[in-house]
Amino acid sequence: MSDSTKTTVGLRSNRLISAISLLTLAAGYTPLTQAGATFKIDDTKWVSIGAGLRTSFQSAESGAGVGGNKWSNDFNLDNIRLYLNGQIHKYLKVEFNTDCQTCSNGGEVRVLDAIGKFEYSPYVNLWVGRMLVPAERREMNGPFYSAIYNIFSSGTPFEPADYNLTIKSDGTSAGSFGRDDGATFWGAAFSGRLQYAVGFFRGLRGGANVDDNILYSQRVAYNFWEVEKNPGYYTSGTYYGKGGDILTLAVSNQYQEDGAGTFFDHGNFRGTSADVLMEKVLSNNGVVTVNGEYKNYGITDGYSQASRDAGGGFSMFEGNAYDVSGMYLFPQKIGIGQIQPYVRYVNVMPDGSSDRNSYEGGVNYVIDGHNARVSLSWEYGDLMSKGLNYTSTATGDKNNAVKLGFQWQI
């Protein structure tokens, strides 16, 4: 959920920590396989810890009081994540991440990821537990490894597992922060160029899912230039030029019978997406990055517009949507970081409801890649005001918003 979220904020850079510090922190921390600190137990066993923080200030037009000349002023704790990763055998690993879900309401530290990993070969591996449901790149990046701070709040519609912040069994939830309970087979072939992930999950709990059907998900990506290197089937929205020249095209699909609607008006959910990442390092060491995403979602055999307008149930998006962004990372350092301006456009076209869009421009101050970044952005459109309201009567003003976001990670 989006925060939309990516489970291993800490999977990216290992360092040594003392045994005493590790034991003190392990009680409340979450996983990272390549970030944070690593304590080696023996030749095959190790444990690593890490943490990530995203916090922001936003001022939005018409967000306070009555009248178009009012602006809201909000400080937000968007994410606070703790990571704990470990290896207990050459082929067996474990990952545990937490996040502050419902942070805006005081915050509750809850389980984000809890994964048992059987990693046998580059071709086939198995993860079981609670994890990211294979989907489009935005979901696989999560908030910490996306190129844009507002990637979820002003993006395309959510997948079922990212529709709700908390997991419930009342027909209104199919997971949390893009994650669900299940299993995923993943791997790569042709020297890592063809990457795949196939998952089986609980999906919608209760409500429309009267027969307790499971959700099926798949993602297949092909790397035409350099091969992207990420933990498991995760992705990144940019590598800041550190990954070489990247051109990757991927398609993903999710399907669940009776995966949307209400107990008395249920339908089969299908969500199909395609995404592309192009990143080119220029001769002057500047970096051009382009992200694109297209979604086509549908609900068949039920869930009428009348039921949607009446409210209740699991009102998943039906229709088409796309999101495209471009950015340039200047090679020169200014102070301790580099400047990366960007532009973005999002268009959401629901069936049976009004269209909505968002224009965004901003600049990232990149200090240490995804580990330390400050972002300033401006948005304009009615996507923010209409949100997830897909009823036939949905209305909303085109408003402006300015956000300053901070991201730290270790």
Q: Give the pLDDT band (50/70/90) at residue 23.
A: very low
What is the token pair recorded at 39? 């304590």
**Cβ atoms < 10 Å from Cβ of 396:** 16
- Please report, for the chain, the start and end positions of each structural domain, with discontinuous segments joined by +: 19-409
318-337 average pLDDT score? 98
- The C-alpha angle with vertex 321 and arms to 317 and 326, in degrees rounded to 5, equals 140
- Position 24 confidence tier, pLDDT thresholds 50, 70, 90: very low
Query: Cα 159–11–24 angle (5° rounding)?
Result: 115
**Structure-block tokens of residue 158:** 């959510």
Q: For residue range 365-388, what is the model confidence (pLDDT) as tens digits?
A: 999 999 999 999 999 999 989 988
SS3 20: helix
Distances (CA, A) of 244 to 142, 284, 286, 391: 21, 14, 12, 45
| pLDDT tens profile 188-225 | 999 999 999 999 999 999 999 999 999 999 999 999 99
- Residues 82-104: pLDDT tens digits? 999 999 999 999 999 999 877 77
Judged against a pLDDT cut of 70, whether residue 18 lies above it is answered with no
Q: Residue 65 has what pLDDT?
A: 56
For residues 240 and 217, the answer to whether their CB atoms sit within 8 Å is no
Which of 38-47, 186-195, 330-339, 340-349 shows the lowest per-residue confidence on average (mean pLDDT)? 38-47
Q: How many angstroms separate the first and last alpha carbons of the chain? A: 21
pLDDT of residue 12: 40
Pick the CATH number of 19-409 from 3.40.140.10, 2.40.160.10, 3.40.50.620, 3.30.565.10: 2.40.160.10
Give the mean pLDDT of 42-52. 94
Smallest CA-to-CA distance from 16 within 56, 47, 44 is with 47
pLDDT for residue 64: 56
Residue 67 has pLDDT above 90, yes or no: no
